Structure 1
Amino acid sequence: MFENILYATDFSESPFMLPCVGIIGKTKKIHLLHVIDEQNHIDPALFEPRMHEARDFLDEELNIERNRGISTDVHLLPGVAGREICSIAEKLDASLIVVNYHKPGGPAGSATMELIRNCRRDLLVMTLLSSKAVDQSKMAMEAYCTNLFRRVLCPVTGDPAAKLEALRSLTEEASIGSVTFLCFSDNVDPISLADSLNGIGLKGGVIMAEGTPRKEIVAAAEKTDASIIMLDAGAEMGMALSIVADSEFPALVLKHP
């Protein structure tokens, strides 16, 4: 899931967040992208040094220090962020788009919502909370990144097949600690779901929700100390938009190309 990553930056995140995209999986290629807003009449040449600095930082962190052998390149484009990010992700056949989320009202927040709605690529949304957690030291950063999937919360309103398949793939690329399914439908059999988790070698449990999705999901994430929330935009579009917009937990939003 994480071999060919498009990392879209607006330069507002912690610099320590960059290497996360090369640690969490079996990454082979990272494309750094910055989209220059068409309404922002700034010379693109002013952004080029920052992009190349970011690439040099990645090369040093991932290849020199960790000997990962990851290749990186830089893309600097004018346009509307959400549309351009999706377009180049499809052009490059990116397996994952990574963005740092900002609350609605700014271009970065709007771009994230646009990607959830209309882009057919899995999306990893890192939050300000996760940036703060990482921005302590290099040791803390690496520990955070390698444990990004230590406690996964999976809300479910219907068929959990997409999440189970994603979890199966993730077991080959990342270290997953435990998984909690939060079910909003009586049609989901908790025993069968728990057995499916055990079948792919994961431990965890199933919780039956009692209230509204947004409130229940945030409460469950806090109670289980979730490190990330996994959402299926194909089956749960409204839920995905709401949780990414309102919570401070990182989210992996699954799409169906």
Structure 2
Amino acid sequence: MKAICATDLSAASEATIESETCLECLGRIGVEEIHLVTVIPSNVHAGMPGMDFEERRERALARYRRVIEGAGFDVDAHVVRGTPHRRINGVAEAVGANLTIVGSRGKSPLENRVIGSTARNLARTTVVPLLVNRIEREADDPDVLREHLFRRILYATDFSENAERAFEAFSYLRHATREATLVHVETPKDPPLSNGDDPEARLAELAARLEDWGIETRTEIRSGDPADEILAAEADHEPTTILVGSRGHSRLRRLMLGSVSEDVVTRASGNVMLVPPDRAA
């Protein structure tokens, strides 16, 4: 597997790269090759007064490379210019990446939104599964909030096609997952399930598949607003990562209403792994 690790060379973005435990987790799920991507905004120029971008960038990337190679990965670095989320997605497509990782500062008491613009835009547009890795906010030398990225997974499903696509990620996450909580949130607008199935039966079927892999699994059905209930389940069970699929709403619908997956990525306290729809669909 190939992973994109997006970095803006800040102390926060270093946290995942320099966390031995996070790197170990990536290795356990099959990542062998990591592509470091740093994007220089189009309006920033190396010759601007007080801006020694070239030297800072080279020092940082050399340090990151040593750390990642020391953990046993092949490493490549990409320095590109433009809009961060577009260029990150472009590199992911160009190298055939299986996963994109972006660090995000944790929640501020004064903010309703917890992730930066690049992470938020990636959540809306990512072309491969996206891991938003939550980083300590109020720290000069920040660390990741959940080191064991995939040890405890909270999987949220509405039994849609894309939710099933997200569940397929367990085919590789299982190598690093010990516990899983499977959550379905009922709402009055739920479409009927096919073949007369009920949510409990569907969750039990999914749980049996995970238990065959030796993952300790629980199931839970909640009622209410899907995003609110998924986040309430996060507070109850304290997973290391929430796993959720995106339905890929149109830009207009997203701007008007938002999507459940985007709300979860934006408001979650811990890590979130977002699986986008199959682009061929």
TM beyond 0.5: yes
**After the TM superposition, which residues 1-257 of structure 1 pair with which residues of structure 2 at under 5 Å, given as runs?**
3-12=1-10, 13=12, 15-18=14-17, 19=20, 20-21=22-23, 23-24=25-26, 25-42=29-46, 44-46=53-55, 47-60=57-70, 62=71, 68=72, 70-102=73-105, 109-129=116-136, 145=147, 147-159=148-160, 160-171=163-174, 174-185=175-186, 187=193, 189-200=199-210, 201=212, 202-234=215-247, 238-255=259-276, 256-257=278-279
- The Cα offsets for residues 203-232 of structure 1, whole Å up to 9 and x where unpaired, read as 312211222223212211111121110010
SS across alignment from 2:169: helix
Q: 1:21 deviation in Å?
A: 4.0
Check the 8 A contact 1:234/1:254 in 2, yes or no.
no
Q: Give the direction of change, closer, same or farther, for the CA distance of 1:22–1:89 in structure 2 (3 Å limit).
A: farther
Q: Deviations over 1:175-207 (max 9, x none)?
A: 212211221236452223223321242331221
CA contact (8 A) 2:101 2:133 kept: yes
- Secondary structure of the structure 2 residue equivalent to 1:58: helix
TM-score by length of 1: 0.80
Gaps of 5+ in 1: 63-67
Return the letter of the residue paired with 2:60: R
Does structure 2 retain, via aligned residues, the 8 Å contact 1:17–1:131?
A: no
Distance in 1, matches of 2:172 and 2:77, equals 28
Distance 1:223 1:81, change over 3 A: same
Task: Measure how far apart 1:235 and its partner are.
Answer: 6.3
Separation in 2 of the partners of 1:215 and 1:51? 39
Cα distance change on mapping 1:71 and 1:34 into 2, 3 Å: same
State the Cα distance separating 1:131 from its structure 2 match.
11
Give me the TM-score of the superposition, normalised by structure 2: 0.74
Conserved 8 A contact 2:41-2:84: yes
Residues 21, 81 of structure 1: CA spacing in aligned structure 2 closer, same or farther, 3 A cutoff? farther
Q: Please say which structure displays the higher CA radius of gyration.
A: 2
Over 3 Å counting, the alpha-carbon distance change for 1:163 and 1:190 in structure 2 is farther
Residue 65 of structure 1: aligned partner: none
CA RMSD across the alignment: 2.9
CA distance in 1, matches of 2:269, 2:61: 27
Given that residues 14 and 131 in structure 1 are in contact (C-alpha distance below 8 angstroms), is that contact kept between their aligned partners in structure 2? no
Given that 1:7 and 1:21 are in contact with CA atoms closer than 8 Å, whether structure 2 keeps it comes out as no
Structure 2: which amino acid aligns with 1:74? A
Q: Matched residue of 2:168: which SS?
A: helix
Q: For residues 262 and 43 of structure 2, what CA distance do their matches in structure 1 show?
A: 26
Deviation string for 1:12-51 (max 9, x for gaps)? 3264421424532222111111101112223541312211
Unaligned runs of 5+ in 2: 48-52, 250-257
Assess, with a 3 A threshold, how the Cα gap between structure 1 residues 227 and 130 changes in structure 2: closer, same or farther. farther
Letter in 2 for 1:89: A
